[in-house]
Amino acid sequence: MIRTIIEPFRIKVVQPLRFTTREEREDLLRRAHYNPFYLHAGDVLIDLLTDSGTSAMSNEQWAGMMRGDESYAGSESFFRFEAEVKDLTGFRHVIPTHQGRAAERILFSLLGGKGMTTIANTHFDTTRANVEQSGARCVDCPSPESRRLTEAAPFKGNLDLDAVEREIANAGERKVEAIIVTVTNNSGGGQPVSLANLRAVRQVCDRHGIPLVLDACRFAENAWFIRDREPGQEGRTLREIAQEMFRLADISTFSAKKDGLVNMGGFLAMNDDALAARARSVLILTEGFPTYGGLAGRDLEAIAVGLREVVRDEYMAYRIASVRYLCHGLKERGAPVIEPPGGHAAYVDAKATLPHIPKEFLAGQALVNALYLAGGVRAVEIGTVMFGAAAQHELVRLAMPRRVYTQSHVDYVLEVFADLLAERDRVPGYRITWEPPYLRHFTAHFEPVR
Ligand code: F0G
């Protein structure tokens, strides 16, 4: 008999939820220009906008917060953080940043530039924006199976190595500044990358003299899938697998807001002494002194503890089970979801959910707005609004914050989804009425198209 996997914690601080009526939500969404990023979080009942920075911290992390040493230079908290990150990643240089994109900005401003190319399984939007900001260009080489949304392949986050070789030949190896492996592949459905693929990318990088950058946001969730699905990995601890993943890379950018189990933080880590020295100079200019880098001492403590907690089996078993529960529940109710379930979110195919909405009327945004109206649930569009004409699919992501919602919260989301599906024909499309020059999904305005 399969036993229930329970939340492996007791709750000792609660944040009350505010309930709204459908009429209130119609008004709130109109005033938010039909872009849920503008909603006040207090007007959202279940917030699945992102798993980033939304974790509940443990009692041990809060204890660490009290230990935080707020010295400007040489903070004790930095050395605890640094030791923890070094042990996990093996990198000699650990540079704290306020979040992942700050690490990306520093790194790609140093590596990149006009005429250069980065290759990735899929560049996350901030990664792409930072590479392009430096004047370089991005090429995505996701595995062929990742394009088939409902194919239950084990490692859909893998890079397509033939495509990578073609792109290197195209660009010329000296013009490829980095190969980026994003674990798990967020933009591609939160799907994992296998150790075999990562090792093969290492070989490609060695052959061509190209640095391998690990975008490690969800390294622990990726490690779980490696242990669960990859032959020969079943006997290892999550930490051992994670340690190997990091050691296959030359450089890592990390947003601790995901698998660091904290609300703010990140790092840039590497072995290259000269590059690290240049990175620290930029850090001082834009983030802070190298022993705090845009973070408070207490934040560094919380990350140090979080990096230990995230690779515990009981935690990750619960984490993966709760995302699987959401995905299976959606599927049972008739929602077309990406399969197999990834590590941090359910991805719903909005085009298949709302087939009456043509591409130009933004089925993903339509589904996001319909979910909020139906039950105060906030999700995010990952499709034409986010990626423009380059969008491969119209997806909606329901991301699970870590240690925040219980199974009955998820049951409620499933009920809301079922209600929405029952009236899906009446969901309108949307058009953009205003947009900024880049990263438009955060701030664009929309109107419904009746
Ligand atoms: N890389 C990946 C794969 C990410 O998912 C994110 C953030 C970042 C880099 C940037 O990190 O937010 O700390 O600057 N993803 C969040 C999300 C925003 O909702 O998926 P950050």
* Residue in 258, 299, 439 to alter for ligand 1 test, most ligand atoms within 8 A of Cβ: 258
pLDDT of residue 441: 93
Rounded-to-integer distance, Cα 136 and Cα 128, Å: 9
* Ramachandran angles phi, psi of 32, nearest 5°: -90, 15
DSSP string of 289-351?
-TTTTTS-HHHHHHHHHHHHHTT-HHHHHHHHHHHHHHHHHHHHTT--B-SS--SSEEEEEHH
- Do the bridges between strand 377-378 and strand 46-47 make them parallel or antiparallel, or are there none, so unpaired? parallel
Residue 428 CB burial class (10 angstroms; 0-12, 13-18, ≥19): middle
Residues shown for the chain = 450
Q: Go through 243-253 and write b for each residue having 16 or more CB atoms within 10 A of its CB, e for each that does not.
A: bbbbebbbbbb
- Assign domain 59-309 to a CATH class: alpha beta
Residue 120: what pLDDT? 98
For residue 241, CA distances in Å to 230, 234, 350, 367 come to 11, 10, 35, 37
Give the pLDDT confidence score for residue 10 in this predicted structure.
96
User: CB–CB of 271/91 below 8 Å?
Assistant: yes
Whole-number Å distance between alpha carbons of 309 and 384: 36
Give me the pLDDT at residue 187, please. 83
Q: Hey, where are the domains in the chain?
A: 22-51+312-449, 59-309
Q: 331 C-alpha to center of ligand 1: Å? A: 26
Identify the three-state secondary structure at position 43.
helix
- Give the nearest ligand 1 atom to 185 CA: 3
The atom number, within ligand 1, closest to the CA of 266 reads: 13
pLDDT digits (tens, 9 = 90+) for 348-363: 999 999 999 999 999 9
Distance 61 CA to ligand 1 centre (A): 22
Same fold, 22-51+312-449 and 59-309: no
Residue 439 is predicted with a pLDDT of 83
pLDDT of residue 210: 98
Show the DSSP H helices in 112-218 as ranges.
125-133, 161-171, 195-208
Which of 50, 44, 105, 34 lies closest to 443 in space, CA to CA?
34
Pairing mode, strands 93-97 and 266-270: antiparallel
Residue whose CB lies within 8 A of the most ligand 1 atoms, among 107, 118, 126, 400, for a mutation test: 126
Nearest atom in ligand 1 to the alpha carbon of residue 257 is 13
Q: Is the minimum distance from the CB of 182 to ligand 1 under 6 angstroms?
A: yes
Instruction: Quote the CA–CA distance of 95 and 169 in Å, as a whole number.
Output: 33
Specify the pLDDT at position 392.
83
Q: Taking CA 348 as the corner, what is the angle to CA 347 and CA 354, rounded to the nearest 5 degrees? A: 160
Residue nearest to atom 4 of ligand 1 (CA): 124
35-60 residue pLDDT tens: 999 999 999 999 999 999 999 999 99
Record the tokens describing residue 99, joined without a space: 């979040």
* pLDDT tens-digit profile, the chain (450 residues): 778 889 999 999 999 999 999 999 999 999 999 999 999 999 999 999 999 999 999 999 999 999 999 999 999 999 999 999 999 999 999 999 999 999 999 999 999 889 999 999 999 989 999 999 999 999 999 999 998 999 999 999 999 999 999 999 999 999 999 999 999 999 878 999 999 999 999 999 999 999 999 999 999 999 999 999 999 999 999 999 999 999 999 999 999 999 999 999 999 999 999 999 999 999 999 999 999 999 999 999 999 999 999 999 999 999 999 999 999 999 999 999 999 999 999 999 999 999 999 999 999 999 999 999 999 999 999 999 998 887 888 999 999 999 999 999 999 999 999 999 999 999 999 999 999 988 899 999 999 998
Looking at ligand 1, which atom is closest to the CA of residue 184? Answer: 3
Contacts (Cβ under 8 Å, ≥6 apart) of 401: 47, 48, 50, 51, 54, 55, 56
C-alpha–C-alpha distance, residues 86 and 83, integer Å: 5
Between CA 84 and CA 92, with CA 90 as vertex, the angle to 5 degrees is 90
How many other CB atoms sit within 10 Å of the CB of residue 365?
A: 30
- CATH classification of 22-51+312-449, choosing from 3.90.1150.10, 3.40.50.2300, 2.60.120.20, 2.60.120.590? 3.90.1150.10
DSSP assignment letter at 396:
E
